[in-house]
Amino acid sequence: MTAYAPPLRDISFALNDLGLLDRVKPLPGCEELNEELAAAVIEEAGKLARDVLAPLNASGDRQGATVENGVVRTADGFAEAYRAFVDGGWPSIPFDPAHGGQGLPWLVAAPAMETWIAANTAWSLGPILTMGAVELLSAHGSEEQKAAFLPKLVSGAWTGTMNLTEPQAGSDLGALKARAVPDGSRYRITGQKIFITYGEHDYTDNIVHMVLARTPGAPAGSRGISLFIVPKFLVNPDGSLGQRNDLRCVSLEHKLGIHASPTCVMSYGDNDGAIGYLVGAENEGLRCMFTMMNNARMNIGLSGLAIAERAYQQALDYARSRIQSGPIIQHPDIRRTLMTMKTLTEAMRAFAYDAASSLDIAKRHPDAAARDAALTRIDLLTPVVKAWCTDCGVEIASLGIQVHGGMGFIEETGAAQHYRDARIAPIYEGTNGIQAIDLVTRKVLRDGGEAARGYIQEIRGASAALDSAKLGPAARLPKRLGQAVDALEEATEWLRRTGVENQAAALAGATPYLRLFGTVAGGAMMAKAAGVAAARLAAAPDDKFYRTKLGTAAFYGDHILPQAQPLADAVINGADSALALEADDF
């Protein structure tokens, strides 16, 4: 497996050249943030990724995690890597200093997360979930709960998990059966949860489980779900650990990839019932849990970007070193493939970071109207970040295998692991089909398309500011982007009109619509990159870095954006054929 090199120059381009860091620097709490500080943080995060996490990626995949009598042991070196992560203060980057956080924006945390995920995806999933647990408790926990759990979670001394799925309740959480019976000020939790990432491990002395369950007499379906904190060890009033709670890991799943990440079957309440503490009010658990899920969706979107970067680096190294009548990178189709990988990765990075900047504005801006506008924007973009980036991540990892040829199908090269590890991301945190449904129903139909139209107008404004005559090889990009935006607008308006009376027809086009949205959003960021690169090259024509940026932007316009109109056609005209067969006809 090729060694990982954090793409610091590309990250800097997205943050600084594209002006994203300038968006968050004026926000309260970011007054001391500047390019130098952000660069220093990300460079050090990259060193942890390169020197500590990446060397464990292949060995962790081969060894995996093991369980014996409920005790889970992670792969050699993983627990030590986690301790280095905690000792460096990395878990606390984006969180409130009141709970021990560093108070840096998510726009700085996102590139750091990218490097850790790219270096070792299986390892990174534990910190990703802990971040989500911190967000959940920060938003919905009581003051007592925050005091008891947040400092430990923010520091990384404890980790957090998300317990939703049950054998009979996957995407349909309304079918879950786990029970929570009141016991004074606490509850006794019983039931089984599956697919619990890092549900048990040897990193920390406590694990804080976020568990969905039903209370007696709760309404049927999703309206009757409550949320509980269920720690592995109970916490005494003085903060020390008390007795072991009534929960255990029954087994570990054997998976296609992420072998080193312990995916647990968890049993709650085999004896007297696991003690849990209600978060928020009864029957409002799903609403509270969505705070954690949306945070995880953004970070899982980053995982699509991260694995794409890792697969590209691997493929590029192989293409340069593999000799077939000269290095295979000389062959036009290999170069086209590498350009596809590189260009999509750059578009994903800019788009995901752009969304992270909106998250910071929504959390920090002093003006309520500005916060609301940013929240509307991030709500719209979250399912696209999650689904488009993870779909592209799988495709790019697959292309990486293709560049290797037959050697890519051999495990020793490492290319296959990237593909296997990438494949879970479109399933995590609500499958990408569910993300597409969310985009269409909650983000387009619910407000009559207002948020989507606002984003479309934003893109149009950015495109209109470009001067084609100055873009050189990317001169066609503004026109291509304009055509793609027209296709997105046409599809959006069709969904808005059709979804009111025929939701099935609208949902039949949800997945191509999300792909269309991501394609256009990525194109908008690449157009912005083209404008910046052209301006830099006007002052320094021989700058290879900016010449490359202009080249990838041109490729996006010529090869990626033309996919927009066929995707719009599938949304608008594809429902009848998609639904032509009844369930019994298959």
For 239-271, how does the pLDDT look when each residue is reduced to its tens digit (9 = 90+)? Answer: 999 999 999 999 999 999 999 999 999 999 999
Which pLDDT score is estimated for 328? Answer: 97
Residue 275 pLDDT grade (very low, low, confident, very high; cuts 50, 70, 90):
very high
Which amino acid would we find at residue 456? I
Helices (H), 405-470: 415-422, 432-440, 450-464
Q: In the numeric block, which tokens belong to residue 453?
A: 């139209």
pLDDT digits over 65-119, tens only?
A: 999 999 999 999 999 999 999 999 999 999 999 999 999 999 999 999 999 999 9
Residue 96 near residue 105, CB atoms below 8 Å: no
Q: Residue 170 above 90 pLDDT?
A: no
Q: Residue 172 above 90 pLDDT?
A: no
Strands 207-213 and 159-163 come out as parallel
Calculate what percentage of the chain has a pLDDT beyond 90: 97
Which pLDDT score is estimated for 579? Answer: 96
DSSP state letters, 226-279: EEEEEESEEE-TTS-EEEEPSEEEEEE---SS-TTS-EEEEEE-SSS-EEEEEE
Mean per-residue pLDDT, 427-431 = 94
Mean per-residue pLDDT, 531-558 = 97
Which pLDDT score is estimated for 173? Answer: 85
Q: Encode 256-278: b = buried (16+ Cβ within 10 Å), e = exposed.
A: ebbbbbbbbbbbbbeeebbbbbb
Residues 6+ apart with CB under 8 A from 297: 382, 383, 385, 386, 429, 430, 435
For residue 321, give the H/E element and its range. Answer: helix 285-321
Name the residue with tokens 């929504």: 362
Which pLDDT score is estimated for 464? Answer: 87
Mean pLDDT (the chain) is 97
The candidate with the shortest Cα–Cα distance to 82, out of 120, 114, 111, 44, is: 120
Query: 100: left (phi > 0), else alpha (psi -120 to 50), else beta?
Result: left
Which pLDDT score is estimated for 117? Answer: 98
Which pLDDT score is estimated for 1? Answer: 86
The candidate with the shortest Cα–Cα distance to 424, out of 386, 457, 456, is: 386
The candidate with the shortest Cα–Cα distance to 153, out of 97, 89, 91, is: 91
Which pLDDT score is estimated for 147? Answer: 97
Distances (CA, A) of 449 to 111, 492, 493, 522, 523: 31, 7, 7, 20, 21
Distances (CA, A) of 503 to 386, 449, 495, 497: 23, 15, 9, 10
CA atoms within 13 A on the CB side of 266: 34
Q: What would you report as the CA-atom Rg of the chain, rounded to the nearest whole angstrom? A: 24
Distances (CA, A) of 103 to 88, 287, 356, 582: 15, 25, 15, 53
Q: For residues 313 and 221, give the distance between their C-alpha atoms in angstroms, rounded to a whole number.
A: 46
Backbone φ and ψ for 398, nearest 5 degrees, come out as -65, -40
Least confident of 12-26, 167-181, 257-271, 504-518: 167-181
Q: Residue 174 above 90 pLDDT?
A: no
The CATH number for 141-146+158-283, chosen from 3.30.470.10, 3.90.79.10, 2.40.110.20, 3.40.50.300, is 2.40.110.20
Burial status of residue 144 (CB atoms within 10 A of its CB: 0-12, 13-18, 19 or more): exposed
Residue 577 pLDDT grade (very low, low, confident, very high; cuts 50, 70, 90):
very high
Residues 6+ apart with CB under 8 A from 466: 477, 478, 527, 530, 531
Largest Cα separation within the chain, whole Å, is: 77
**Mapping DSSP to helix (H, G, I), strand (E, B) and coil, where does residue 380 land?**
helix
Domain ranges of the chain: 141-146+158-283, 434-572
Residue 119 near residue 49, CB atoms below 8 Å: yes
Q: For residues 310 and 118, give the distance between their C-alpha atoms in angstroms, rounded to a whole number.
A: 6
Q: Residue 133 above 90 pLDDT?
A: yes
For the chain, what is the total number of helices (H) and then of strands (E)?
20, 12
Which pLDDT score is estimated for 254? Answer: 97
Q: For residues 371 and 156, give the distance between their C-alpha atoms in angstroms, rounded to a whole number.
A: 29
395 is catalytic: no
pLDDT digits over 191-228, tens only?
A: 999 999 999 999 999 999 999 999 999 999 999 999 99
Cα-Cα-Cα-Cα dihedral sign, residues 512, 513, 519, 522 = negative
Mean per-residue pLDDT, 524-537 = 97
Please tell me which residue in 200, 346, 429, 489 is annotated as part of the active site.
429
Q: For residues 255 and 566, give the distance between their C-alpha atoms in angstroms, rounded to a whole number.
A: 35
Calculate what percentage of the chain has a pLDDT beyond 70: 100
Name the residue with tokens 């005494």: 236
Q: Residue 471 above 90 pLDDT?
A: yes
Burial status of residue 431 (CB atoms within 10 A of its CB: 0-12, 13-18, 19 or more): middle
Residue 357 pLDDT grade (very low, low, confident, very high; cuts 50, 70, 90):
very high
Beta bridge partners of 212: 227
Which pLDDT score is estimated for 475? Answer: 96
Beta bridge partners of 186: 183
Which pLDDT score is estimated for 450? Answer: 96
Which pLDDT score is estimated for 463? Answer: 86
Mean per-residue pLDDT, 327-332 = 97
Which amino acid would we find at residue 159? T
* Count of beta carbons in the 10 Å neighbourhood of residue 580: 8
Q: Residue 465 above 90 pLDDT?
A: no
Q: Residue 123 above 90 pLDDT?
A: yes
The candidate with the shortest Cα–Cα distance to 414, out of 62, 123, 66, 78, is: 62
Mean per-residue pLDDT, 29-34 = 95
Q: For residues 81 and 55, give the distance between their C-alpha atoms in angstroms, rounded to a whole number.
A: 10
Name the residue with tokens 């627990």: 79
